[in-house]
Structure 1
Amino acid sequence: MSPVLSASMGGRHVLALIALPDATLDALRRDYTLHYHPDGWDDALPAGVDPVTLRAVVTNGSTGLSDAQMAVLPALEIVSAFGAGYENVDVDAAVRRGIVVTHAPGANAATVADHAIGLLLALARGYAPLTGAVRAGRWRASRAERPTLTGARLGLIGMGRIGRLIAARAQGFDMTLGYHGRQPRADAPGRYYADLIELATNSDFLVIACNGGPSTKHLVDRQVLQALGPSGYVVNVSRGSVLDTQALIDALAHAAIAGAGLDVIEDEPEVPPALLDHPEVLITPHIAGRSPASLIAQRDALLASLSQHFAQASVEFAVRAA
């Protein structure tokens, strides 16, 4: 390696605050001086990180990066979210400080949509409780009818990339589609509901696929779950904050809804026992967006953003401030 290249790389210090795939770590270490702290940043800057030299941070929507954290890093130039979400990155503060924020829009959308449909099928057909029943020797006693997706009513909260892909897959089951968002979309499939309660009332399955953040915190609350009704199922593949956990626990305890499929939890990785123990609840460990293809796409978007920024080129996946 030439002294010039070595010096250039040595001046490009990157702090990663989230767990990253080995291939992504190898790529970052090849081109940058990487400080890898996958457990995040609590009260103090991770040990061994010189704030004066640090020019980039890799995070995600859940971990984010606050204004106070940016203030500790005077040389920070770019914050890259590994994935589509960036809700806990203070974009306004970054813009004010002249810091570029990037993400990977659509990189894992297809995988998340697949996961959502999988949860819908598994909940409706009772894969988990029925497998448990058979293992317990209750073959004949467990052969009651179960609902299916064909012809059912699907309510989507969010009609972005993921929502549209879920809708496309649902159409293969001849599901009736409805959706809720900030505003109707002329080219979106299904009926738009400005009132989320009305959407839930007219849904057999309600899938949360909207952005996280303060504006959607507890958007799905007791009233929404009550409107979904005792034969309805809720699936969350967005952010844990969108679904009120205590309201969900109460709804399940009183059979106000039929079940839930959760890839995200408000206080993950801590999961309330009431959810773990419920036979009609399926929980996956925030992996809806993880597949070999999606991780490669997220890696490529991250590397492209860093490379473009340090080459002083236009950054394709830069987030625009509201």
Structure 2
Amino acid sequence: MTSVEVKSLDDRKTIDQASSSRLNLTLPFASPTTLKTLGATFTACAVASAITLPADILITKWRNSALAEWNPELRAMGVGASSRSTFTGTSTSDTINPHSTYISVQKKLRIISPFFRLMSNEIATNALNYAMENSTTSKSPDRSSMTTYFAAGAIAGTAQALVLCPLEAYRAHSLAQEEIQAMSRAGVLSKLQSWFVSTCPTERLNRAYRGIGLYALREMAYNCTFFPLFYSLQNKFKSVMETTKTRQQMNTNNNNTTISYLSIPSWNFGERFFPVLISGVIAGTFCSAVVTPLDGLVMYLSHSREEWHFWTGRRIVSPPLNVIYRGISLQTFIFGPVFGIVACVYELV
């Protein structure tokens, strides 16, 4: 085994020990170190929400306008006009804004979701490390660490789904109720009956809950993918920088010079900061792209409706792909890297 590999394993042990020391299950959570970590992480989540929430509102605007063009019921209710009033500041008296509840819930989710994801993964990792400390039979530290990361991600994803799915169900239920109330107005019914097209309010209410299970699966898939990739990339980048540091030290010794980049404080800071930052951004972007098909499937299920037509009878109408995946690129390249930066802050504090 080379010296670089030994140092890489030492780095991995250091990372595991540092993670365990932050939220030690045997110590009270009110310790100064823990409070500092929780405060810095919550502050980072709040700052990140200032980026992700406007992006989420923009995606909602795009999808809302596209759905209003595709769905005659939404056009009859004036959803497209109400979405424009929401984001331009103008008000319309004859339209509704069925996404107002969505936005109010998202303001809370954009802070709670990343914070709870990091906390639950940390607690699950510490619990698994404690359980596997004396019972592990694996001789490979890499395999043991990756197993722990995957298992902790699954546990954290399940816990997060249990916390966030009720909020998602509340948002979906409120959205359906607002649309049903708008459909019951006389002006809307006259517009719909002129096309001989209608949907059952009960069907609309049931359709609101179709994507809840996939939402839970999405959270578990994201956690199971992000944390193993994040720590693996972090170890790889640390190994590369350690190799560069060793070569720099050898060149300094061979040239008998006293000036070295290793003595510059910025190099020592970058050696600790940049591997974590780059790993977080790459892992966040990749994992957001991984769960993108699930986001599209949730959109498909929640907006595919059973429609009754006077001439053709009942049929299933689904939104086209350009509506389902509108704003996905913004979601991948904004939400993923931002969470990676939040994870970087949590790791370094």
Q: After TM superposition, is the score higher than 0.5?
A: no
Bigger strand share:
1
Q: Which structure has the higher relative contact order (CA within 8 Å, separation 6+)?
A: 2
Structure with larger Rg: 2
Q: TM-score range by the shorter chain?
A: 0.3 to 0.5
TM-score by length of 1: 0.35
Bigger helix share:
2
TM-score by length of 2: 0.33
